[in-house]
């Protein structure tokens, strides 16, 4: 079943044949991949709580999604879902890989999630992120200097992709000599966020995991002997009332920071620049007043969220959505991108407004699973966009990317040509 869904991404004819099965929400359509927002608005208008034969209960309103993300009756422990056995995403995976997946913050509930988050927060602090700002700015300047004379570039390759990879590598304490394989692991592990986006799914990611796991365990052992000023040293050192991160938990956390941290930030920067190209009056306003960048990034996150969906599993017997009881093990899909364009929550939601004050977006989630790397993503986007507009004041580019990532979870163009 999982491989069948993966094939649907690459071949359009079965998708059209199966439209009656998908109903009003079919994220495998090419038109949806390029622009999901008309679909979201139709759902919000006609079926805000839609019961899909494929995806379970699909929510599109801000209030409903915010309530689910903050409700302890809904779990991120996906193997508890009834449909999990049918898809069998862990089939043919090594026990160590499954253990790593099930140890990430994205897959555990309280009290284990509370414990892991508390330990991680002792190392991944706002002070750490703030201390990275000068280095982020330096990396951005280096990347922009490298393409300045070319007069045009693919923004993804030139800036949006390498920036978060370099920053995360340096944050973890990975030497520049190992950056090439680090990028390979980063690309592959991003599939953990959406196994449907790459043919082969999780099985294809297993060799990269094995390599990364051995590498990170070696680095952790070295840091125990000789600590350095990096995140892995801090994670090795964290302790609270005798509690420490296990080796698997440390690898899982680093893999999450690597895979999720680079892919989502790449999308955030690319989507933001595309939004400015399509809305030149907003770009001019930001160029005239760079101090608006903080609120502007929040608006970019709302307007075209780098993460479009998340899901939860019902683990209680008293859940009712849309007037319909949901049995234990039911899946609930939360369309974050729809929530961030909900007209019941945001005035004129389809308009980009970098001075918007109603910034209650759900791009980083809500509740206990609010994105661990939110502060870092914000810092990288703020610095990258400000520097880009300052360095190339006459920046222009394509308003119509040739393709978008084949993913129902992640949203970003595969390329974005810009010139100056």
Q: What is the pLDDT along the chain (420 residues), one digit of tens a residue?
A: 555 555 555 545 555 666 677 889 999 888 999 999 999 999 999 999 999 988 999 999 999 999 999 999 999 999 899 877 676 778 788 998 899 889 999 999 999 999 999 888 888 888 888 999 999 999 999 999 999 999 999 999 999 999 999 999 899 998 888 888 877 887 777 777 776 555 666 787 888 888 989 999 999 999 999 999 999 999 888 876 678 889 899 999 988 888 788 889 999 999 999 999 999 999 999 999 999 999 999 999 999 999 999 999 999 999 999 899 999 999 999 999 999 999 999 999 999 999 999 889 999 999 999 999 999 999 999 999 999 999 999 999 999 999 999 888 999 999 999 999
Nearest to 173 by CA among 211, 135, 122, 134: 135
**Beta carbons of 405 and 197 less than 8 angstroms apart:** yes
Angle 399-405-406 from CA coordinates, rounded to 5°: 135
Predicted TM-score (pTM) of this structure: 0.93
**Beta carbons of 133 and 379 less than 8 angstroms apart:** yes
pLDDT of residue 200: 64
pLDDT of residue 202: 78
Please tell me the total count of domains within the chain. Answer: 1
Written as six digits, the tokens of 361 are: 């977006």
pLDDT of residue 7: 58
pLDDT of residue 3: 57
pLDDT of residue 15: 59
- What does the radius of gyration of the chain's CA atoms come to, in whole angstroms? 21
pLDDT of residue 388: 98
pLDDT of residue 14: 58
Range of the domain at 272: 2-419
CATH code of residue 42 = 1.10.630.10
Which residues fall within 8 angstroms of residue 63, CB to CB, at 6 or more apart? Answer: 342, 344, 345
Question: pLDDT tens digits, residue range 123-141?
Answer: 888 888 899 999 999 999 9
Separation in Å, CA 160 to CA 154, 167, 274, 279, 313? 9, 12, 12, 19, 33
Question: pLDDT tens digits, residue range 158-216?
Answer: 999 999 999 998 999 988 888 888 778 877 777 777 765 556 667 878 888 889 899 99
CA distance 279 to 274: 9
């Amino acid at each position: 079943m999982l491989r069948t869904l993966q094939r649907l991404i690459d071949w359009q004819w079965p998708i059209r044949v199966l439209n009656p099965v998908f109903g009003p929400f079919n994220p495998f359509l090419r038109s949806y991949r390029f622009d999901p927002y008309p679909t979201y608005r139709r759902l919000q208008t006609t079926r805000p709580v839609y019961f899909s034969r494929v995806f379970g209960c699909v929510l599109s309103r801000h209030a409903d999604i915010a309530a689910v993300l903050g409700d302890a009756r809904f779990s991120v422990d996906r193997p508890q879902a009834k449909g999990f056995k049918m898809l069998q995403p862990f089939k043919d995976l090594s026990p160590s890989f499954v253990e790593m997946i099930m140890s990430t913050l994205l897959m555990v509930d309280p009290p284990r999630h509370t414990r892991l988050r508390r330990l991680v927060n002792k190392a991944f602090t706002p002070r750490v992120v703030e201390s990275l700002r000068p280095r982020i700015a330096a990396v951005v300047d280096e990347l922009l200097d490298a393409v300045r004379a070319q007069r045009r570039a693919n923004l993804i390759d030139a800036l949006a992709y390498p920036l978060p990879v370099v920053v995360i590598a340096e944050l973890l304490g990975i030497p520049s000599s190992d950056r090439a394989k680090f990028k390979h692991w980063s690309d592959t592990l991003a599939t953990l966020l959406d196994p449907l986006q790459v043919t082969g799914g999780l099985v294809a990611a297993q060799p990269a995991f094995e390599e990364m796991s051995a590498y990170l365990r070696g680095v952790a052992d070295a840091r125990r002997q000789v600590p350095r000023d990096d995140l892995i040293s801090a994670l090795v050192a964290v302790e609270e009332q005798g509690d420490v991160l296990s080796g698997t938990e440390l690898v899982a956390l680093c893999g999450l920071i690597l895979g999720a941290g680079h892919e989502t930030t790449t999308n955030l920067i690319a989507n933001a620049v595309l939004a400015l190209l399509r809305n030149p009056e907003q770009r001019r306003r930001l160029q005239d007043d760079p101090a608006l960048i903080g609120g502007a990034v929040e608006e970019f996150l709302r307007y075209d969220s780098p993460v479009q969906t998340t899901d939860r599993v019902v683990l209680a017997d008293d859940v009712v959505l849309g007037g319909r009881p949901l049995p234990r093990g039911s899946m609930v899909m939360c369309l974050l991108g729809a929530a961030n364009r909900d007209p019941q929550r945001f005035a004129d939601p389809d308009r980009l407004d970098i001075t918007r004050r109603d910034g209650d977006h759900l791009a980083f989630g809500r509740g206990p699973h609010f994105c661990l790397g939110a502060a870092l993503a914000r810092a990288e986007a703020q610095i990258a966009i400000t520097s880009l507009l300052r360095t190339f004041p006459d920046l222009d580019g394509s308003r119509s990317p040739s393709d978008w990532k084949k993913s129902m979870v992640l949203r970003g163009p595969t390329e974005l040509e810009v010139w100056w």
